[in-house]
Amino acid sequence: MMCGLNFAGGSEFVAIELWRTPPVLLLIAGMTFLINSRHLLMGAAITPHIRNLSTRKALLALFFMVDETWAFGLEDARSRDDAQGKGQLSLPFYFGLAAGLYVTWVASTAIGTVIGPRIGNPDAIGFDMAFPAVFLVLIKGLWKGYKAAIPWLVSLVVACVIHLSVPGTWYVAGGTLSGLLTAYLLSGREEC
């Protein structure tokens, strides 16, 4: 259910890590917003290419905007760029991509739910290490040099300290905000 409606992997991984019974709604919703805030930039970048769509079609197309559909769709649209650089997004191309991804996404989740309970004790076979492993690869994908990674390091240290001293899942919010503050201060220093 989460996958069908939300359709954004990174934030779902985070939600599962943070999930308690009962879940802390505000914290999870807040982190979801932060993780997916890259869509803000992506939406802004694709806007010139969907100007000819009706608002209704544009809003539907945006629901299916993920890293993959965005990247391929934008590349395809740019290949038709005219002098003003306003090549239009091909809807059949875009929704074909989106449908393929969406079906795979939901289908693999269904398979996981069936197989999951039969695996046995996940700790003994080291299954919980799959999580940090996935995250580390995702982080590597974002790698843009050591300087850009300074805020991440600050985030990590602050999050570790909060995790050891404050119960609950506040370490994510605290660590993230301190990292962002670092990024803000660092970029300010460069401009001076």
Residue 178 to residues 29, 45, 152, 174, 185: CA-CA distances in angstroms? Answer: 19, 28, 9, 6, 11
CB under 8 A: which stretch of 5-13, 72-80, 83-91, 104-112 binds another protein?
5-13
Please, which of residues 89-128 interact with another protein by CB under 8 A?
123-128
Residue span binding another protein (CB under 8 A) among the ranges 38-46, 72-80, 81-89, 97-105: 38-46
Quote the crossing angle between the two packed helices 170-191 and 25-35, to the nearest 10°: 30
Q: How many residues in the shown chain lie near another protein by CB under 8 A? A: 86
**137 binds another protein, rule: CB under 8 A:** yes
| Shortest distance (Å) from residue 119 CB to another protein | 11
Q: Which two tokens stand for residue 29?
A: 């919703």
Of 83 and 124, which has the nearer Cβ to another protein? Answer: 124
Q: Which is nearer to another protein, 107 or 139 (CB)?
A: 139
User: Does the footprint of another protein cover residue 166 (CB under 8 A)?
Assistant: no
What contacts 39, CB < 8 A, 6 or more positions away?
65
- Count of Cβ atoms closer than 10 Å to residue 71 Cβ: 12
- Rounded Cα distance between 98 and 63, Å, is 10
Q: Is residue 9 at the binding interface for another protein, with CB under 8 A as the rule?
A: no
42-81 residues in contact with another protein (CB under 8 A) are 42-44, 46-47, 50, 58-59, 62-63, 65
User: Which of 73/151 has CB closer to another protein?
Assistant: 151
Find all residues with CB under 8 Å of 94, minimum gap 6, and list them: 61, 64, 69, 73, 76
Determine the Cα angle at 164 with ends 162 and 169, to 5°: 55
Per CB under 8 A, 40 contacts another protein: yes
Shortest approach of another protein to residue 187 CB, angstroms?
4
Contact flag: residue 138 with another protein (CB under 8 A): yes
Cα distance between residue 36 and residue 30, in whole Å = 10
